[in-house]
Every structure is written in C-alpha cells, then in structure tokens.
C-alpha cells in the first residue's frame, strides 16, 4: 500500500494523510493508491504541509507499517529518546521500528 506523509508547515510535525485530512498517527493513514502525488501537490500548494512524499507500507492489524526504517522512525520519533516519541509508555514500539 502507499501512504502520504509530510511535515505540518507551521509546526513541522510529521503528519499522515487520512483521506480527508492530516493526522499525527500513522494508524490513521489511508492507502492513497495512485493519487498520492496529486494530493501531495495540492496540499503543498494550500500551504498545509511541506515535504509531502509517497511511501510504501504494509497493512497490519494495528494499522499500516511503513516499509522503510526511516519512515517508521518518522512515524514514532527518535529511537534513542523513547520519552519523546508518540508512544512513550509502550515498550513494544522498539521492535515495531527496527
């Protein structure tokens, strides 16, 4: 499946395209199929995100898991500061990323 992610223009936070809006959580991300680039250019032009990009992911029970480690780190936060990630209390996130 294909996901669309970007950085929120004003805050820089990593955001995922949900089909109608942007979410901080990769679990909310929707398969954009072939439409990713079109949505990306439109959302960039509307100044909602910067650096929008289409990435590969695998569907899973807990939601999509990006195929590349870089995008999994973007989804979660720095592996060396679990306290600053989106799931600071979840000990299983390490194995999700790596």
Partner 1 sequence: MYRYDQYDQAIVDARVEEFRDQTARRIAGELTEDQFKPLRLKNGLYLQLHAYMLRVAIPYGTLDSRQMRMLAEIARKYDRGYGHFTTRQNIQYNWIKLEQAPDILADLATVEMHAIQTSGESVRNISADQYAGATADEIADPRPWAELLRQVTTFMPEFSYLPRKFKFAITAADSDRAAIRWHDCGLRLVRNEAGEDGFEVYAGGGMGRTPMIAPLIRSFLPADQLFGYVQAILRVWNRHARRDNIHKQRMKILVHELGAEEFTRQVEEEFAGFEARDVDPPRAEYDRIAAYFAPPPFETGLPDEIDRSDPDFALWLDRQVAPHKAPGYAIANISLKPVGGIPGDISAEQMEVVADLAERYSFDELRATHAQNLVLPHVRKADLYAVWQALDAAGLADVNLDLVSDIIACPGLDYCSLANARSIPLAQKISTRFADIDRQRDLGELKIKISGCINACGHHHAGHIGILGVDRKGTENYQLLLGGSGAEDVSAAKITGPGFDEDGVVDAIEKTLDAYVRLRDPGERFLDTYRRIGVEPFKEAIYG
Q: Which stretch binds partner 1 (CB under 8 A): 15-23, 32-40, 57-65, 68-76?
A: 68-76
Stretch that binds partner 1, among 25-33, 34-42, 57-65, 80-88 (CB under 8 A): 80-88
* Distance from the Cα of residue 23 to its chain's centroid: 8
The sign of the dihedral angle between the CA atoms of 33, 34, 36, 42 is negative
Say whether residue 42 binds partner 1 (CB under 8 A): no
Q: Is the dihedral angle over the CA atoms 83, 4, 13, 18 positive or is it negative?
A: negative
Number of residues that bind partner 1 (CB under 8 A): 25
Q: Per-residue string for binding with partner 1, 8-37, x by CB under 8 A?
A: -xxxxxx-----------------------
Backbone angles phi, psi at 83, to 5 degrees: -65, -20
Local structure of residue 88 (DSSP, 8 states): T
| 37, 39, 44, 96: residue in contact with partner 1 (rule CB under 8 A) | 44
């Amino acid at each position: 499946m294909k996901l669309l992610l970007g950085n929120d223009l004003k805050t820089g936070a990593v955001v995922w395209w949900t089909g109608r809006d942007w979410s901080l959580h990769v679990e909310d991300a929707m398969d954009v199929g072939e439409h990713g680039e079109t949505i990306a250019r439109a959302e960039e032009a509307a100044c909602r995100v910067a650096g929008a990009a289409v990435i590969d992911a695998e569907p899973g029970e807990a939601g999509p898991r990006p195929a590349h480690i870089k995008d999994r780190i973007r989804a979660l936060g720095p592996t060396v500061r679990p306290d600053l990630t989106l799931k600071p209390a979840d000990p299983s996130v390490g194995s999700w990323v790596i």
